Chains A and B, each alone.
Chain A
Amino acid sequence: MTDEHDKSADGGRMQRKKETDEESVVEEMTEFLEGRTMFDGPDRDLMLDHKMEARSNREERALAKLEDDEVTRMVVQNRLQSISDEAMEMSMSIAASPSVRWGDLVCGVMTREGDMAVASSAGVLLFLAMQSAPIKRIMRKWREEDDYEINEGDIFHHNDARYGQIHNTDLSTYMPVFDDGELIAWVCIVCHEGEIGATEAAGMPADAESPYDEGLKIQPMKIGTDYEIDEELVTFFQNSVRDKKMMKADHQMRLAVAMRMLERVDNVIEEYDADAIVGSLRHSLETAEQEARSRIENIPDGTYSTTNFVDSNLKDDLLMKVPCELTVHGDEMTLSFEGAAPAFADRATNSQLASLKGQLVQTFVSFLWPDMLTSQAVLEPINFEADSGSIVDPPEEVPNAQSMQTFFDGHAIVERVLQFSTYGQFVEGNDAKMTDVHANHYTNINAIGYGGFTQHGDQVGNVLTDLNAAPGGARWNRDGLHSQTSPALSMGDTGEGELYEEEYPLVLFSRNRLTTDIEGFGKYRGGHGHHQVLSHKDTPFWAWQMMGTGSRFPRSWGLFGGYGGPVYPTAKIQGSDLFKDMEERPEDLEYEIQGIMKNKPFDGEYSTWDLGRQTDIAAEGEIFLLTQGAGGGLGDPLERDPDAVADDLEEGLITEWTAENIYAVSYDEETKQPDEAETESLREDEKKRRLEEGVPYDEFIDEWQTESPPDHLPYFGSWDNKSEIYRGPNMTMPADSIQPVTMNVFRENNPELFDTPIYPPSPEWQGDVDELDYEDVDTGDHRDSDKAGSD
């Protein structure tokens, strides 16, 4: 018994020891596994949180000090604004990237905790709104990791949209502001650079079918100390991109600008003190929030809805729903994008929700309340709802280089519901302080990208800055502006054609003509966009890329009875030789897009394509054409002043067809002056036609409305129930468990839904500079032939 007992006791001890050993191993393993992060990836919670940090004790003290010194606060606030504006000007003067030179950037000052408090008056406000998450990430690492340091002179950088950017062609530099060893703020510059080593050269690859096709992606990281960039890192970055000179030059440019901002902020600290900076930044945020709440409180409570239908993801013609429902309650708003199309696993138009929110900072501050402080706090009273897995809140493992093709629709629909909700109070005294009531600004950037070798032998890739000139929508009391500004960018420029041609092998044959008949018709008409007819020469290799959506379904709608703009093709004249035709028969040529496409003055094969065209390798002299869009119209077109119609006719903005058929204006054939009585009669006839053709709403709905999308439509998104998401006309998934759609597979399984190919097949794009023979480059008469091939 004893032995048995002992054995039993031994067995028990052994069992306990075994259990203890196992527990210990589990503990060790757990500690090992939990202590090692295999991938320090994006933080979804941080990215989804757009609210500013709570007021800190430090900020409390600084504000208390400024409470009785309004003058100092206002002076410092204005100094910070001037510092940001000066930085923007400085960047544009010294940047290598043509996008930056013509305004595609922003500079500003963030609080110590990373909230956007001051932004340059011009530029891409949304870029700066996107810098909050990366700075907050850095601050968290600093607090949580013993060996992570932030010191005076450190240089931080990132470009990956999943950590806070709209796409990775935008590169940021931010540096901490120290005072006497205390970190008090950040200065920041963000630039749309262009070429970034993606599958396409322009930096926004519509051809990307995974995040790994989009080029260089850098998480928020320190790239330099003591005011010097780590050259090894820059070389690493350069090895991942084609335009190596721009990569280095603009890293230096952004550093120079950030250092200038630091110098100026130091001057303010010397003149006043750090409290003045800390207090002013916090005051900017809190004031913006209070002001936004006060304005929202004056917008009628209620529900306002609209939807955009996006007709392409740039590789496939399809219809994606992007809806918006605005609920106003007291001093808060909720913007719901529930019911939107699912994300695409292998297409680049997915938009991070943070990117959409960033655009909406621009929407509110540039299009609604331009008198507000340029601060992210304008979104503080706004709540957002979106389906996880949808195209406006996609998972991280999907590409997003063309995110703006989706979040610009977010801008358009929010812009529209805000007009619905505010018109009444606007004409009743405007306590919500709307700057104006207007139909949709042109919703997109119809862009031409390029890539190849310049006449100087440099490898380049970028977009032409004509995208900075989207036209404005009609206002409540006047027409929209022509070729005004991008929905994402305040006061950008299209750039000087001559400078473009000097630096790049482009020939801008026709660039500044407004396109006839594209306005959103209305009592007040939308602005017209211009069109571009261009070619290239003096280069051994050149390719174009077209970017945009809206070739089948209009994206910019009218308002209050006005019409939206139409849809827009791109065009190409295959096999044309612009320079030969210019030399041999200049008198036969035309310069206006409609005349060119109708009359075919150039030799070659004429064709049109949708706006989403991937890289197309072009021969010298081949002609490409693109139209910028138009703003929406406002009010019933039959109410448009006949004299205004006559003026537009005289200026070539509209044709006689439009004057007669849309505006119902009768005019003298010779003088083009309107006939008042005849016009009145035409308009009465038109109203009679309306009453004859119109059907009572309920009767119409019985005939019109269907339970699901038509069988022929490649439709994505909800139909009449936002909890049910269609992927194609016959398949649904619940909104709370959306799976991204892999389009290459979907197309293979549903070929009958598509009437256009994925265009064009992926090009053999990775040219080897050593194999290119610059001796063969025809430099023409107007170039310095010594420059070609000098590298």
Chain B
Amino acid sequence: MTETYQPRNGVEDEGIEADVGLDRENVFPVTPYLGIDMVAELWLCRKCGEELGDANESYKRGLLVNERDPDEVHRPLIGEEYKYTYAPDADWCRLLEYYCPSCATQVETEYLPPGHPPANDIQPDLDWLRENHMEEAQ
């Protein structure tokens, strides 16, 4: 946790930030599980500190991916005899789970049609972070 963090709205709870293991001033918290080391320009796992690769590229490149049949998670809730069952159509939709290769934390999930390119969903400008975050940290 950073010193500037304040519990909000009267919730006496650090929420998902309570489980973060990594607390370094030069690491900007991009998500609860991902940080960017501003000096080394590396993605890091905020749970275990594992280096996940170049911060100028998609964080996903440093993670493990598990393609799952979505009904392993969203199973048919009314049996399998019906056309539509609450389970996604596995021919149309695949579930990708992204894990930290060290601590196995599930960092992100993504629902995609088979073969569709995953998104590079978070690519902050490192210069901006350095300018705005590092100055504050120092």
- Which residues of A are interface residues toward B (Cβ below 8 A)? 298, 300-307, 309, 311, 319, 417, 420-421, 423-424, 427-430, 436, 475-478, 515-518, 521, 523-524, 551-554, 557-558, 560-564, 566-571, 593-594, 597-598, 606-610, 627, 634-639, 657, 662, 687-688, 690-691, 693-698, 700-701, 704-706, 709-710, 712-713, 715, 719-720, 756
Contacts and interface: CB of A to CB of B under 8 A. Distances in A.
A558 B99 CA distance: 15
Contact of A709 (B89, B91, B113): B113
Contacts of B136: 428
Given A311-B92, A552-B92, A305 B113 contact: no
27 contacts: A300-B129, A301-B125, A423-B30, A424-B124, A475-B15, A476-B17, A477-B11, A477-B16, A518-B77, A561-B107, A564-B109, A566-B74, A566-B86, A567-B86, A568-B84, A569-B86, A598-B78, A607-B82, A608-B78, A608-B84, A609-B83, A635-B32, A637-B106, A693-B66, A697-B60, A704-B67, A713-B113
Contacts of B11: 477-478
Contact of A698 (B6, B31, B61): B61
Contact of A300 (B15, B82, B106, B125): B125
A449 B1 CA distance: 49
A30 B111 CA distance: 57
Interface string B67-110: 10010011101110011111111011101011101011111111
Which of A516, A560, A593, A713 has the largest number of chain B CB atoms within 10 A?
A560
Contacts of B31: 420, 423-424, 560
A687 B97 CA distance: 12
A639 B21 CA distance: 13
Interface string B14-38: 1111010000000011111100000
Contact of A608 (B5, B82, B116): B82
Interface in B53-69: 58, 60-67
Nearest to B108: A561
A424 B77 CA distance: 37
Contact of A694 (B95, B101, B133): B101
Contacts of A691: 64, 99, 101, 104
Q: Across the A-B interface, give the 9 residue pairs with the lowest CB-CB distance, nearest first.
A: A477-B15, A694-B64, A706-B115, A569-B84, A687-B104, A566-B74, A302-B124, A301-B125, A597-B78
Interface of B: 2, 4-6, 8, 11, 13-17, 19, 28-33, 58, 60-67, 70, 73-75, 77-79, 82-89, 91-93, 95, 97-99, 101, 103-125, 127-129, 132-133, 136
A304 B82 contact: no
Given A566-B86, A566-B88, A710-B115, A636 B105 contact: yes
A95 B73 CA distance: 44
B111 A564 contact: yes
Which of B60, B74, B98, B106 has the largest number of chain A CB atoms within 10 A?
B106
Contact of B99 (A515, A560, A690): A690
Contacts of B33: 560-561, 636
Given A609-B83, A638-B106, A697-B60, A428 B2 contact: yes
Nearest to B90: A552
A697 B66 CA distance: 9
Given A552-B88, A553-B92, A554-B111, A690 B104 contact: yes
Contacts of A570: 84
Given A436-B8, A517-B77, A696-B64, 17 more contacts: A309-B93, A420-B31, A428-B4, A428-B28, A429-B6, A430-B8, A478-B15, A524-B15, A563-B95, A627-B86, A687-B103, A691-B104, A693-B66, A700-B65, A706-B116, A713-B92, A756-B83
A610 B104 contact: no
Contact of B75 (A417, A551, A657, A712): A657
